[in-house]
Every structure is written in structure tokens, then in C-alpha cells.
């Protein structure tokens, strides 16, 4: 039923888009059919898979880096008052630095390289992860801590059965909000200083004023990211919450 | 204070005094002072001069008004709070104490069985718990998550977790509050049966005097904050012979002697 509702809204959206584009009949609003045709051509040439693949790669690497470092940092901040006092301000500074500034600085300092691109994306996303994880680590149930202490849980048992299960919902929240953030930033980073990827392609077609291509690329990539969320992250989320 | 405790003992039953010192206590608690200090607030003295022992195979009830420092005392003898003046012997880590907390404190993301097993030391995780689950009526629930159980059943799991340790002393913090009468009576019966079967000593904190009179071998009456020992009252009538009228008479007697601790 829920799936049906989703599909219906999608169909309505497509029909509306088609109708408006036919009615307006301007170059800046291509019809869904034109966009689909572009996607087909680009896929046949192989450019589509190459660009989407390389962007996905960048998203994946920077996502893993930002998640692992951000989780560690967040747990330390949440568990140690001292660390929190020292690192809170720098964290706020990075959190409030525009993605564009971090990207430009990364390219200036590290050169127009793959490393700079990855660092820029990871650095943009890391503070978000750390802040979410800090909340999680702060909110550990003191009753369970006492229980674990009174039953003398060893470290491994505590981490696996007391700490991690309490942090899991926060990790999932950070991952789901983080992955959409990461791919948006990856596009900016590619647009500024990479010779390939979806961001590069969009910039290229923008200069040609090819709106069909711009919409085509973003649609494909959005679909990929949606699929990752529905097929990977949501099932993990459901698994983690199975006891509720 | 020691005088008054001794006085009550001799009034209640002479043979109890004769055989009691012969058995070494499992736990000696002597808290001279416990003060909570928090920046920006007045220090609060929670416990003062509280000393008692837990002997083998007996049920001891700590009775006192709410907020009197009973839970503080339990945290100290469990080794969860080391900032106090006094001694607990043997060291809580070696005393063989298992705790049943007031709220069940189960891991909601682990099954009933896992909750019981995870609290065991690693080498004993695989031991056979069939008899224990059967005795507590938990056998059909072993693979369920605690969230699917009623509060009464969760308390049973919490009790199972403690009994699985085969403790020398079972410590219970208000284990029967907010249960309906039937569930409370059922759980009380399980505790008493465990004592009879395994020879476990029980130290139970409660503010329910009737409940304590029903099952205790000995009552420790505490004053309000700071908690201090007012009297130690042995109840020598065997549990099976305790009638309703006996319980009422005992309660009236206690209320007459200690009007500040026990209401009539």
C-alpha cells in the first residue's frame, strides 16, 4: 500500500512535468522523454557509468573516512568532559565553515589532486558525524552502566552489548544524513577541481547550457543514492531496531 | 545504638543470640559517613554510622523512609561508590553479591536468555540454565526481547540474572514495587524458594513493612536522612508459621516501639 502510494506520487510528478514542459515549450525545461533519451545515449557511450562510478567511489571513500573518524571523535567528546571543552570550539568552527571554503582551501593547500578532493569532502562531513555521535555517547543509560559494573562485565562484553547497541541508532542517523550530505559536497568538489565525475559533467553541460544533460545526470545520481538508502541503510536500520 | 539493638534481640528470642555469633558473617558493612558533595550545592549527608552484617542463609530487610539513603548503602556495598568513610568486608568484588535493581535494567536489545548469560563470567556462559528458567517460569520466554514482557516478568528475568551467578548474597532493591499483588506475591515466593534451595542470603531494601514482616529473618530499621541504624529486630517465627494475625501484631508492636520508622 505504502509502495503503491509512492509510485502513484511519482507518476503524478512525471505527468505534471511532461505537461508543463509541453505547455511551456522552452529549452530550459526539457520533457521527461528528452531527459530519458539523453540518459540512454550517455549510457551507451559509457560516459554515464564512468562518471557516476567515479563519483560514487569518492563518496564511498570520504564517507568511510568521515564516519569512522567522526564516530571515534564523537564518542571521545561525549565520554570526556575535558576533551569536549578543548575541542568544542574548533568543531563549531569547522561545522560553520562553508563547504566551498573548505574545498577551495583543500585544493590550494594540497593541490588539485584526488587526495585534496577526498579530504575536502571528509572534512565537511566529519563534524556532523561527531556532533551526532557526541549526543549518543552523552546519553548512555547510567542504570545500565551500574548494572554492567555490578555484574563486572568485561570490556569486550560491555562494548559489544552495552555501548554499541546504544550508539547504533546514532550511527545510522549520522550515516543517513551523512551520505546525502557527502554526495552533494562531492559534486561541488568535482565541479571546482576534478576532470571527471558527475559534478564535472554537470559543470561541462552547464557551460554548453544543456539543461537536459544537467537534469539527466542529477536524476541518475539521485536514483543511485536513493537506492543505497533504501536497499542498504534502511534494512540495517530495521535490523538494529528489531528488538523495539 | 549497639545497646538498643542488643536489647531488641534479647527481647525477641534468646536462642537466636546463642547461635548467631557462631557463624561467620558473609558481609560486614560499616559506613561511618557518606556525604554527597556537588559543586554549587550544600553537601548532603546520606548515611551516618550504619553498621550491619549479613549472615549465611538469612533474609535481612533494610526498612526506612523513601530517600533515606538505602539505595546509597546498596551502591556502596556493591562497590559502585567508593567515596565514603568506612569499610565493607570482604571487598565487594569478592563477596559474591548479585544485585536485583529496582528497575529491571535489562539490555532491551538482547533476548531474555542472553541477558542472563551475558552477566555470567565468560567461562560460565554456556552453563545449563534450564532448571533456573523453569523455576522462574521463564522457559517460554527465553528467546523473547525484554520489551515484550510485563514489568513483573522483566523483574523475574532480573532475578534470574542474579540467581544464575549462584551468589552468596542476593541484594534486592525494592524488587516488588509497582507490581500488582499477585505478581508481587509470586516474585516474593520465588525469592524465598531460592533462599531455601540454594542457601543464598538475601539483603532486601524496602519501604513496605508488611512485605518485610512476611519474609524476613531480621529487620534493620533505618532513620530518615542521614540514614542511621535505629534498631535490629530478629523475627524468629518460622516463615511457614507466620499468620495474618501474627503479622499484624508484629507490625503493631514495631509501630509502638519505633513510631518514627514504622507507621501504625
Tell me what ipTM this predicted complex has.
0.80
Alpha-carbon separation of residue B27 from A195, B32, B54, B55 (angstroms): 74, 16, 5, 7
Other C-beta atoms closer than 10 Å to the C-beta of A3 total 7
Q: What is the mean pLDDT of residues B13-22?
A: 46
pLDDT band for B23, please (50, 70, 90 cuts). Answer: low
* Pair B170, B191: CB distance under 8 Å: yes
Say how many domains are in chain A.
1
Select the residue of A146, A154, A243 nearest B108 (Cβ to Cβ). Answer: A243
Cβ proximity of A26 and A79 under 8 Å: no
pLDDT(B18) > 50: no
Residue B99: phi and psi, rounded to 5, are -110, 135
| Grid cell locating B198 | 540454594
Smallest CA-to-CA distance from B210 within B200, B199, B219 is with B219
pLDDT > 70? residue A235: yes
Within a domain: A18: no
- B161 Cβ under 8 Å from any chain A Cβ: yes
pLDDT for B239: 77
Phi, psi for B69 (deg, rounded to 5)? 100, 15
Q: Which triple of cell numbers denotes residue A186?
A: 562531492
Residue A56 confidence (pLDDT): 92
The pLDDT score that the predictor gives to residue A12 is 92
Range of the domain at A222: 31-240
A189-194 long-range CB contacts below 8 Å, 24 or more apart? A189/A58, A189/A103, A189/A117, A189/A120, A189/A121, A190/A55, A190/A58, A190/A117, A192/A103, A192/A104, A192/A107, A193/A103, A193/A107, A193/A112, A193/A116, A193/A117, A194/A112, A194/A114, A194/A117
- The reply to whether residue A162 touches residue B107, judged by beta carbons under 8 angstroms, is yes
Q: What is the DSSP letter of B123?
A: G
**Per-residue model confidence (pLDDT) at position B31:** 81
Asked whether residue A67 is assigned to any structural domain, the reply reads yes
pLDDT, average across residues A154-163: 91
* Residue B116 in this model has a pLDDT that exceeds 50: yes
For chain A, list residues whose CB is within 8 angstroms of any CB belonging to chain B: 143-144, 146-147, 149-154, 157, 161-162, 165, 243-244
The answer to whether residue A7 scores a pLDDT higher than 90 is no
| pLDDT for position B22 | 52
**pLDDT value, residue B152:** 84
Cell of A178: 551523512
Query: How distant is the Cα of A168 from the closest Cα of chain B, in angstroms?
Result: 11
Cβ–Cβ gap B101/A146 under 8 Å = yes
Distance from CA of A151 to the nearest CA of B (A): 6
Beta-carbon neighbour count of residue A154 at 10 Å?
10
Q: Please, what is the end-to-end C-alpha distance for chain B in angstroms?
A: 23
Nearest CA in chain A to B79: A150
Residue scoring higher pLDDT (A87 or B32): A87
Cell matching residue B35: 556525604
Residues of A in contact with B93 (CB under 8 A): 152
- Looking at residue B197, what is its pLDDT? 81
pLDDT of residue B264: 59
With CB atoms and an 8 Å threshold, state whether B108 touches A152.
Answer: no
- Say whether pLDDT at B3 is over 60: no
Pair A206, A214: CB distance under 8 Å: yes
- Helix residue spans in chain B (DSSP H): 2-12, 14-19, 70-77, 112-118, 130-135, 151-164, 181-198, 209-215, 244-257
pLDDT score for A73: 93
B72–chain A Cβ distance below 8 A for any pair:
no
Whether B106 shows a pLDDT value over 90: the answer reads yes
- Average pLDDT of the segment spanning A212-216: 92
Q: Which helix (H) or strand (E) holds B61?
A: strand B59-63
Residue of A142, A143, A151 for testing the chain B interface, max B β-carbons within 10 Å = A151
Closest to B26 (Cα-Cα) out of B106, B79, B94, B85: B94
- According to the model, what pLDDT value does residue A176 have? 87
Whether chain A has a CB inside 8 Å of the CB on B147: the answer is: yes
The nearest CA of chain A is from the CA of B32 a distance in Å of 23
CA A37/CA A42 separation, integer angstroms: 9
C-alpha torsion B190→B191→B195→B196, nearest 10: -30
A17 assigned to some structural domain: no
Per-residue pLDDT tens digits for A106-115: 999 999 999 9
**Cβ atoms B107, A161 nearer than 8 A:** yes
Confidence of residue A204 (pLDDT cuts 50, 70, 90): very high
Out of A90-104, B6-20, B211-225, the most confident range is: A90-104
Q: How big is chain B, counted in residues?
A: 264
Task: Give the whole-number percent of chain B exceeding pLDDT 70.
Answer: 91
Q: What is the pLDDT, as a whole number, of residue B6?
A: 41
pLDDT computed for residue A207 by the predictor: 92
Whether residue B109 and residue A150 make contact (CB cut-off 8 A), yes or no, is no
Structure confidence at residue B137 (pLDDT): 84
Contact A91, A131 (CB under 8 A): yes
The residue in chain A having the minimum alpha-carbon distance to the alpha carbon of residue B95 is A150
Is a pLDDT exceeding 70 seen at residue A117?
A: yes
Which among A144, A154, A157 is the nearest to B105, CB-wise?
Answer: A144
Give mean pLDDT, residues A179-202.
89
What pLDDT does residue B67 have? Answer: 73
Range name among A156-160, A204-208, B33-37, B161-165 with the lowest pLDDT average: B33-37
- Please tell me which of B9-18, B31-40, B119-128 the model is most confident about, judged by mean pLDDT: B119-128
Q: Which of B98, B105, B110 sits opposite A143 (nearest CB)?
A: B105
Q: Is residue A213 part of a domain?
A: yes
Question: Do the domain assignments include residue A11?
Answer: no
Which positions in chain A touch B101 (Cβ < 8 Å)?
143, 146-147
Of residues B64, B157, B60, B30, the one with CA closest to residue B105: B157
Domain harbouring A176, CATH code: 1.10.3720.10
* Residue A163 C-alpha, separation from nearest chain B C-alpha, in angstroms: 11
Q: Do B105 and A165 touch (CB under 8 A)?
A: no
Query: Residue B124 has what pLDDT?
Result: 86
* Contact across the interface for B122 and A154, Cβ inside 8 Å: yes
Task: Tell whether the model's pLDDT for residue A44 goes beyond 90.
Answer: yes
The stretch B181-207 carries a mean pLDDT of 84
Residue in A closest to B105 by C-alpha: A144
Which superfamily is assigned to B2-96+167-257 in CATH? P-loop containing nucleotide triphosphate hydrolases (3.40.50.300)
Mean pLDDT of B246-252: 81
B15 pLDDT higher than 50: no
Distance from CA of B205 to the nearest CA of A (A): 17
For A162, nearest residue in chain B (alpha carbons): B107
Share the mean pLDDT of chain A.
Answer: 90
Amino acid at each position: 500500500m505504502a509502495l503503491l502510494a509512492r509510485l502513484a506520487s511519482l507518476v503524478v510528478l512525471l505527468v505534471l512535468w511532461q505537461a508543463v514542459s509541453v505547455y511551456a515549450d522552452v529549452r530550459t525545461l526539457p520533457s521527461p522523454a528528452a531527459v530519458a533519451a539523453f540518459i540512454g545515449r550517455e549510457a551507451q557511450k559509457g560516459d554515464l557509468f564512468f562518471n557516476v562510478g567515479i563519483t560514487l567511489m569518492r563518496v564511498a571513500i570520504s564517507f568511510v573516512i568521515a564516519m569512522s573518524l567522526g564516530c571515534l571523535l564523537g564518542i571521545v567528546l561525549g565520554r570526556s568532559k575535558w576533551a569536549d571543552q578543548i575541542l568544542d570550539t574548533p568543531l563549531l568552527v569547522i561545522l560553520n565553515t562553508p563547504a566551498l571554503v573548505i574545498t577551495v582551501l583543500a585544493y590550494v593547500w594540497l593541490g588539485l589532486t584526488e587526495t585534496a578532493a577526498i579530504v575536502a569532502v571528509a572534512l565537511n562531513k566529519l563534524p556532523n558525524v561527531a556532533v551526532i555521535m557526541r549526543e549518543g555517547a552523552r546519553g548512555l543509560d547510567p542504570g545500565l552502566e551500574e548494572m554492567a559494573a555490578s555484574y563486572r562485565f568485561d570490556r569486550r562484553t560491555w562494548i559489544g552489548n552495552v555501548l554499541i547497541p546504544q550508539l547504533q541508532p546514532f550511527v545510522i542517523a549520522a550515516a543517513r544524513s551523512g551520505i546525502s550530505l557527502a554526495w552533494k559536497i562531492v559534486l561541488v568538489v568535482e565541479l571546482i577541481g576534478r576532470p571527471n565525475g558527475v559534478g564535472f559533467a554537470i559543470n561541462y553541460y552547464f557551460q554548453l547550457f544543456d539543461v537536459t544533460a544537467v537534469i539527466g545526470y542529477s536524476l541518475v545520481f539521485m536514483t543511485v543514492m536513493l537506492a543505497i538508502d533504501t536497499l542498504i541503510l534502511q534494512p540495517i536500520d530495521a535490523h538494529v531496531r528489531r528488538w523495539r | 545504638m549497639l545497646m538498643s539493638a542488643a536489647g531488641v534481640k534479647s527481647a525477641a528470642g534468646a536462642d537466636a543470640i546463642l547461635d548467631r555469633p557462631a557463624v561467620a558473617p558473609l558481609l560486614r558493612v560499616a559506613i561511618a559517613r557518606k556525604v554527597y558533595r556537588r559543586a554549587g550545592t550544600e553537601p548532603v549527608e546520606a548515611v551516618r554510622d550504619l553498621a550491619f552484617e549479613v549472615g549465611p542463609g538469612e533474609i535481612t530487610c533494610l526498612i526506612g523512609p523513601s530517600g533515606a539513603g538505602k539505595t546509597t548503602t546498596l551502591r556502596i556495598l556493591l562497590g559502585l561508590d567508593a567515596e565514603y568513610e568506612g569499610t565493607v568486608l570482604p571487598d565487594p568484588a569478592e563477596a559474591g553479591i548479585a544485585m536485583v535493581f529496582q528497575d529491571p535494567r535489562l539490555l532491551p536489545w538482547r533476548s531474555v536468555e542472553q541477558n542472563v548469560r551475558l552477566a555470567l563470567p565468560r567461562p560460565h556462559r554456556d552453563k545449563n540454565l534450564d532448571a533456573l528458567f523453569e523455576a522462574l517460569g521463564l522457559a517460554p520466554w527465553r528467546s523473547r526481547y525484554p520489551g515484550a514482557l510485563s514489568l513483573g516478568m522483566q523483574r523475574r528475568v532480573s532475578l534470574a540474572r542474579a540467581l544464575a551467578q549462584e551468589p552468596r548474597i542476593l541484594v534486592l532493591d525494592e524488587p516488588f514495587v509497582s507490581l500488582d499483588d499477585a505478581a508481587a506475591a509470586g516474585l516474593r515466593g520465588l525469592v524465598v524458594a531460592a533462599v531455601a534451595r540454594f542457601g543464598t542470603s538475601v539483603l532486601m531494601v524496602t519501604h513496605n513493612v508488611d512485605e518485610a514482616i512476611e519474609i524476613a529473618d531480621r529487620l534493620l530499621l533505618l532513620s530518615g536522612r542521614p540514614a542511621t541504624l535505629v534498631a535490629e529486630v530478629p523475627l524468629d517465627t518460622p516463615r511457614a508459621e507466620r499468620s495474618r494475625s501474627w503479622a499484624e501484631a508484629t507490625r503493631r508492636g514495631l509501630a509502638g516501639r519505633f513510631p518514627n520508622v514504622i507507621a501504625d
